[in-house]
Structure formats: structure tokens, C-alpha cells
Structure 1
Amino acid sequence: MYAVLDIETTGGQYNEEGITEIAIYKYDGDQVVDQFISLVNPEIEIQPFVVKLTGINNAMLRSAPKFYEVAKRIIEMTENCVIVAHNAEFDYRILRMEFKRLGFDFKRDTLCTVELSKKLLPEQTAYSLGKLVRSLGIPISDRHRANGDALATLKLFILLQSKDKEKTILRSMIKSDIKTGLAPKFLDMVENLPSTVGIYYIHNKEGAIIYIGKSNNIKKKIHQHFTSDSKIFKKIQSETYTVTFEKTATELIAQLKENEEVSINNPIYNKVSRRGIYPYSLYLKTNSKGYLYLSIDKTDGRKRNLMAFVSPNEGMKFIEKLKTEDSVNFYVDGYYPLKTKKINNENFFDSIEIPFEQYNENIIALLEPFDIDSTNTMILDKGRTINERSAVFIEKGTLKGYCFYDLNFQINNPERIEGNCTPVSFFRNNRSIILNYLNKRKGFKLVKY
């Protein structure tokens, strides 16, 4: 028996979301035998982008039942069933979280139609629900509403069942609760960890830190450590007494803190690599005629780089991002990911018709959005809660530290925010970490002051 479901939420920080709508179809392998569809009052505000995506707003939910009023029906609908959902990990986490708030330990086996589709439909180019069902000719209505998405997931699941004739793949992909495979001594440790981005510390019985790590989902990462069969983590498991953590709100702060604290605490199971984590960088060079040009080279710690990359391919993607319809034509030297014929440096600049001073100003303007050297800079990003923001401070290319501040705090006085700054010790890769983050992430704001 299967409970095919879809959940819409308020959005927001991990484990702080609320359910706004739920739809469940109870399917016995042949036909739908029961169904439940309801709006849910989450008792918290819906994020604006979610309102735009789903069409569900706060006014619609004022008279809707609260979760505790529909909880019994959800239990009845999913009893002795495998929960089936598109991205089941998300829907199951949300349900477990809501029931935990009521003091009830909700446990069901799960099956993810994303993972199942990747196994049975390897020829597909995309596995989001909308793109997948359109490609397969499955009708879908009320996209991003629980009922429409649940019905589409049910039809997709029926199709996938027909393709897996012996049901061997389907049976192998049914997942038990996240605790499965954990030794009893680790159960409480994992249960009490957050599913958010941050730093975690594994301690032995003396309280000493034996391992430091970072993750976008601390709970999931620790679970992986405690079920790993690798030699190093078998040792860590045998010595673990407890796990502590610190939320960091962003991957950038998590990575900066991890590097610093591994260096300070020197945990016995952390391996500190002597090599740079970003082996390639972008540099600005000048030719014999005074023209500036870009060069992707191996990272040289003695030179100030403009961007940092894990590979030449990543560097060329950044170059393509710089090239817009109205951007100045520029020359790129150095490593090429493909066997590309290079343009001779001198010949290229023979075709430039404007003075090199003006040309150079255009090149510098092109790189300005990623400039952290010319003045003091703040990287403003999300915070640990919905009412908070984070700030990373860079003083003319040198990392100073970070802080968290209330959304009501006025940004027009950066010095006041900087007064709450937590300093970060020097680490040779800090600059490259920041540059790579600016290249690959979205949602932050760069403020010069």
C-alpha cells in the first residue's frame, strides 16, 4: 500500500517551515482507495516567493485547519503505507517535523520518484516534476499546488511501476527512517541536530574535539559519518561521545570557520592539505603596448588573484559570464579546457581602435562586480533565522570577520554593524574562498563602504 503525497510549505529556514497544503492519495497498487486534500494554517507568514509560486497567500489560510486538527487523518492515511513523493526526503522531513512539534514520533518508509525515475528513465534530460511529466505526456494541472502535484506524482509512479516489471528496483529503493543503520548510541545525537548549514564538532569522552566539519545539512552529514564503513570514520565512531554544532547561515561563513577552527584545534582526524583548494585563478596582466588582458593560470599565492576556480573549465564559464552583448571585447590567455587555438596576444590588440587607457577602464569596469580590493566591502547574505542577516567584512581585500544582525538594523551605518564583527584568523585560502563564493552563489548583496 502506498500513500502518494505532496506538501506545500511557507518556505524559510530549515526545520522552521510550516505546511500550507497537503494532498494524499492512498493507492493499493491497482486503484486509489482513499484521498485527503486540505489547506493548512501554518500559523506563520508565507514567504513572498512561495506566494508567487503557489498562489497560496496568508488570507486563504486564516480559516484553514491547523496541523494538529488534520494530524489524525494524516496518520490514518499513511498507516502501513510507503510514502511516495517527488523529492520524498523533503516531504517526509516536513511531516516528521510537524509531528515532532506535537510530541509524536512519525515514522514511515519512503520512496522517491526522482530517484526511481533516474534509474528507470535514464534517457530523460531533467527530473523536476513539471519537466518530467510534460516529457512523458502525463497531464498535470494546478502545478505547485498539493493536489495537482500529488496527482501527477501518482500517474508518474504508476508509469514507473509498469517499467520495473520485476519490481526489484522499486523494492531496493524503499528507504526506512533516517535512523536505520545507526548504532543505538548515535540515535539521540542525530535526532537533536539541525538540518541547516553550519559547523559541527565531534568530541571524545574527554571532551576533546576529534573532528570538525561543515555541511549544508548538519543532521544528514553526521548521519552519513555514523553509518560510514570507511576506515577513518570507523575510528571516529568508536571514539565519539557527543556532537556539538554552530549554525552559520551561509556556506561562506561555514567554510571560513571550518578552515580557521581546524587550524586552531588541530583535530586528530582532520587532514590539512598543503595544496590550495582552488588550484586555478584569474589574473589581470598587461601586454607590451599597455593593454590589459585576462589570464587563467595556476594559483600563485604571491600574486593577487581576481577570481578563484577549482578547474580551468570553471574559469572559462566565468569568462563566458563576463561576455555580454554590450561588453568590451577582451583577450584571455592561459589554460584552456579544450584544444582551442589561441589568438596571438599582440595581433589581437592591433584590432583595438580606442586608446589603451579607455580600453583598460572598460576591462576594469567589467570586473567591478567582483572587486573586493579597491575599498572596504560587506557581503550581506541570509541569516540563521528569518529575521536575521549575515555580513562578512573585507578590508581592501583582506578578510576581517563576520557578524549576524537583526533585519531591523539599518545598513546605512556599516561601522555599527562591523562593531559586532567576530574576527577570523588569517588563512591562506580565505581570499580564494570568498572569490569563488561570489562567482558561484546568488542571493547575496555586495556593499562598498
Structure 2
Amino acid sequence: MYAILDIETTGGQFNEEGITEIAIYKFDGHEVTDQFISLVNPEKEIQPFVVKLTGINNAMLRSAPKFYEVAKRIIEITEGCIIVAHNAQFDYRILRTEFDRLGYNFERQSLCTVELSQKLLPEQTSHSLGKLVRALGIPMSDRHRATGDALATVELFKLLLDKDIEKEIVKGLVKSENSQQKKGLSTKLLDMLNSIPAVTGVYYIYKENGELIYIGKSRNIKKRVNQHFTGTSRRSKRIQKDAFTVTYEETGSELIALLKECQEIKVNQPLLNRSQKKATFPWSLYAAKNTNGYIALSLTKTDGRKKEIISFSGAAEGKNALIRITEKYNLCQKINGLDPSVTDACFPYGTGNCNGGCIGAELHTEYNVRVGEFISFNSFNGQTMAIIDRGRKVDERSVVLIENGKYIGYGFYKLNYQVNNLDILKNILVLMEDSKDAKSIIRGYIRKKKDLKILHF
């Protein structure tokens, strides 16, 4: 049996994508015997280029089921089947990643129709799905939607099966997850890999003499260590050569994993984390009232004597962020120093994207309210808050504490524990070092995770 499928995603960084639509057709070699089609709420924003390509937008997915709500149906319809897809490595990886986030190990054999068509149709000039089905006269509708692409793959697969009379080529291209994952690993590396769980946390790789050579974090430690053990980069090869022991600390929360990784690298300075030892933020965004009473945002070299709003690793990153902030909060380019040559109204004023602070047309009190909204959302200055996130177990939650604008530490508590009392909360914390790096990590995590629970004291 085969489960022929297509998945549409949000786009984004590798292994950070979310599923937006999935279509699966169960195929017995002759006809479709079952099907599952659904939009999926990825709980993250869709990249603009993906919206343009697929026509799927964020509004369409607000009421769609989340992945955990359709996961059981996906397991049932693919049980005992070989996963078939055009570029199966991508679709299978996306599925495994989603199941990993739920703590479930999803393993199926897979078969790629790109590879199969290259073997059976070598005369074709292109093996992309769109061009291939057009060349073969296979009807196709709803290109770049899961249903249209999956149905086209069904018809393509039927044709390819007919061409492979002895089915030897099909059999030869079926991949097993275990054989892919463990291919070429030595017994030493396999033993280490088998001792590591698929959990979120921080991991430590040691040489035989006890020297710590690498620290990393991952939402799936087992998968990440396997990537080190099978990678071809210079660092991966060093790890494969020198690794003797791998230990880990489960955190449940990705935020705590990020914060621990950052501090542990600074403290231990492992040989293979050289590029991360000195994470610096030499540019910062500051706020100050100008002579007309408007609060101006300015990007300058970091000054330890002042309280910054946000810090950046480079001037270009900071300037791009200031441009986005100015646009998002309808602020003035002239006031924020983005167009110093302007002596009168800034250009956005003429297009309606500036309310006229540059020429005094907007009261500074009204303008400063919007600047204040930006500062309060992005700066921890003077704030005391507890960031609540997932824990290591179902009945546990994690907490990261900011007190008077300083990062204090993290802890874990049972669901019946009272965390709304600051003095009680501080008793369960593991104290950590306050730094610009830590605050930058926390700010970025809050911006990314829109549904985080945050308690303000």
C-alpha cells in the first residue's frame, strides 16, 4: 500500500516550517481506497512569498485544526504504507518534524517520484511536477495546493508503476528511515545516539579525556545529535572523530534551552563553539526627547551607561529594524534620523504614512504615545514579569523571571503551584547571569511566540 501525499508549508528556516495544508491519498497500486485532506493551522505566520505562491493566507487558517488535532488521522491513513511524494525527502521531513514536536516518533518507508521518474523517464528534460505532468498529458488543477499536487502525483505514480514492469526499480528506491538515519555510523556513535531522547534541551559533547568540545540546544536533541554524527561539515567531522560521551539536560521550554546554551558556552568556551563564545551587541536603539518634545529613536554604538531598548549585532541589522519599527508604529523618518537630509516634511508624510511630527502637524503628546507602546513592548526597563512556557512533563510548566528589567533565572513548577507571588516564585529559580545576550534571546522569543503567557508584577 502507498500513501501518496503533498504538504504545503509556511516557508521559513529549515525545520522551522509549519504545515498549512495536507492531502493524502491511500493507493493500493490500482485505485485510491481512502483519502484525507485538510487545511492546518500552523500557529505561525506564513511567509509572504508562500501566500503569493499557494493563495493560502493566515486568515484562512485561523479556524483550521491544529496539527495535533489531525495527527491521529495521519497515523491511521499511512499505517502500513510507503509514503510517496514528489520530493519525498521534504514532505517526509516536515511530517516527522511535526510529530517530533508532539513527542511521537513517526517512521515510515518513503519513495520519491522525482527519483523514480529520473530512472524510468530519463528522456524528460525536467522532472519538476508541473513540467513533468504537462509533458505526459496528465491533467492538473490547483497547482501549489496540496489536493491538486497530490492528485497529479497519484496519476504520475500510476504511470511510473506501469513502466516498471518487474517493480525492481520501485523496490530499489524505497528508503527506510532507520537505514537513512544510521547509515555509516560507527558502533560508538550509534551507542551514543541510542542513549539520547527526542526531547527539548541542551546537550554536551565530550572527548574521551573529559574535555567538553561542543554545546548545543535543540527542540529534538536526538535528531540534532544525529545531524552532527552524519554531517559533512568540518565541525561535524571533528565531532564524529572526537566524540566519546554525550550528556544532556531536558528543559521542555525552547526559551530555557536557548538561555542555558548561551550562558554555558560563555562559561565553558568549548573548542567547537568558537563563533558563539563572544556574542556581542555593539549597536543599540535608544530613546530621547528632541527639542520639540518628540521622543526620537536613535541607533548608536552601545553605551553601557545608558538603558537601551534593543541591541543588535551589527549596524545594518539595527537600521533595518529601525525602518520596520518606524513603519509599523507610524512614526516619522525625520525624527528617527533615517533621512537626515530632510529639512521640511519627510517623504512618508506626503503618502499618508507619517502623521506630520516632522513639521509639527501632530502633537508630540499623541506621537509619543505610539513610541511608548513600542518601548513598553520591547524594553524590559523597570519591568518585572514571569514568562510561562511548557515544562518537561505534561503536568509541569517552566518560568523565566525578569525583575526590574534584569534577567534573574528560570525554574519549573507543578500546575497547582502558585507563581503569582514573586517571593514564592523566586524560591524555585535557578539563578542565571543577566546580559544583553540573554535579554535579546528573551525579546526575540516573546516576539516569535505570540501565545506565551506573561505575568506582570
Match of 2:91 in 1: 87
Contact 1:6 1:91 in 2 (8 A): no
Residues of 2 paired with 1:193 and 1:230: CA distance? 22
Residues of 1 paired with 2:363 and 2:2: CA distance? 71
Match of 2:407 in 1: 399
Match of 1:370 in 2: 378
Residues of 2 paired with 1:375 and 1:214: CA distance? 28
TM-score of the superposed pair, with normalisation by structure 1: 0.65
Task: Measure how far apart 1:291 and its partner are.
Answer: 2.6
Residues of 2 paired with 1:138 and 1:6: CA distance? 5
Match of 1:128 in 2: none
Residues of 1 paired with 2:370 and 2:109: CA distance? 59
Match of 1:144 in 2: none
Match of 1:147 in 2: none
User: What do the CA deviations read for 1:292-350 (whole angstroms, capped 9, x no partner)?
Assistant: 1112345455543212345645754575467568x66575635x6xxx78645998755
Residues of 2 paired with 1:383 and 1:427: CA distance? 24
Contact 1:283 1:305 in 2 (8 A): yes
User: What do the CA deviations read for 1:233-252 (whole angstroms, capped 9, x no partner)?
Assistant: 32322221221212223333
3-state SS of the aligned residue for 1:178? helix
Task: Measure how far apart 1:417 and its partner are.
Answer: 2.5
User: What do the CA deviations read for 1:269-292 (whole angstroms, capped 9, x no partner)?
Assistant: 321557545554322133233431
Match of 2:309 in 1: 306
Specify which structure has the bigger relative contact order, considering alpha-carbon pairs within 8 angstroms and separated by 6 or more residues. 1
User: 1:402 is matched by which residue type in structure 2?
Assistant: Y
Residues of 1 paired with 2:127 and 2:336: CA distance? 42
Residues of 1 paired with 2:176 and 2:144: CA distance? 26
Contact 1:138 1:156 in 2 (8 A): no
2:152 is the alignment partner of 1:155: yes
- Superposition pairs of residues 120-269 of structure 1, within 5 angstroms: 120=128, 134-135=142-143, 153-156=150-153, 158=155, 176=177, 177-269=180-272
Pair 1:342–1:243, CA change in 2 (3 A): farther
User: What do the CA deviations read for 1:167-222 (whole angstroms, capped 9, x no partner)?
Assistant: 99xx9996753222322322232234333432111122344422111223322221
Q: How many residues align?
A: 384
Match of 1:53 in 2: 64
Task: Measure how far apart 1:133 and its partner are.
Answer: 6.9
Task: Measure how far apart 1:26 and its partner are.
Answer: 3.5
Match of 2:4 in 1: 4
Task: Measure how far apart 1:389 and its partner are.
Answer: 2.5
Task: Measure how far apart 1:57 and its partner are.
Answer: 11
Match of 1:108 in 2: 109
Pair 1:153–1:362, CA change in 2 (3 A): closer
TM-score of the superposed pair, with normalisation by structure 2: 0.64
Residues of 2 paired with 1:57 and 1:445: CA distance? 20
3-state SS of the aligned residue for 2:287? strand
3-state SS of the aligned residue for 2:204? strand
Match of 1:282 in 2: 285
Task: Measure how far apart 1:428 and its partner are.
Answer: 4.7
Task: Measure how far apart 1:423 and its partner are.
Answer: 0.7
Residues of 1 paired with 2:67 and 2:258: CA distance? 36
3-state SS of the aligned residue for 1:269? helix
Structure 1: segments with no counterpart, 5+ residues: 8-13, 15-20, 39-47, 124-131, 141-151
Pair 1:157–1:427, CA change in 2 (3 A): farther
Residues of 2 paired with 1:97 and 1:370: CA distance? 28
Residues of 1 paired with 2:107 and 2:403: CA distance? 49
3-state SS of the aligned residue for 2:273? coil
User: 2:443 is matched by which residue type in structure 1?
Assistant: L
Match of 1:434 in 2: 442
User: What do the CA deviations read for 1:146-187 (whole angstroms, capped 9, x no partner)?
Assistant: xxxxxx635346459989xx999xx99967532223223222
Residues of 1 paired with 2:251 and 2:263: CA distance? 14
2:414 is the alignment partner of 1:412: no
Q: Percent identity?
A: 28
Match of 2:79 in 1: 74
Residues of 1 paired with 2:385 and 2:450: CA distance? 17
User: 1:88 is matched by which residue type in structure 2?
Assistant: Y
User: 2:192 is matched by which residue type in structure 1?
Assistant: M
Pair 1:352–1:389, CA change in 2 (3 A): farther
Residues of 1 paired with 2:101 and 2:448: CA distance? 31
Pair 1:345–1:414, CA change in 2 (3 A): farther
CA RMSD of aligned residues (A): 5.3
Pair 1:316–1:210, CA change in 2 (3 A): closer
Residues of 2 paired with 1:158 and 1:440: CA distance? 40
Pair 1:407–1:342, CA change in 2 (3 A): farther
Contact 1:308 1:435 in 2 (8 A): no
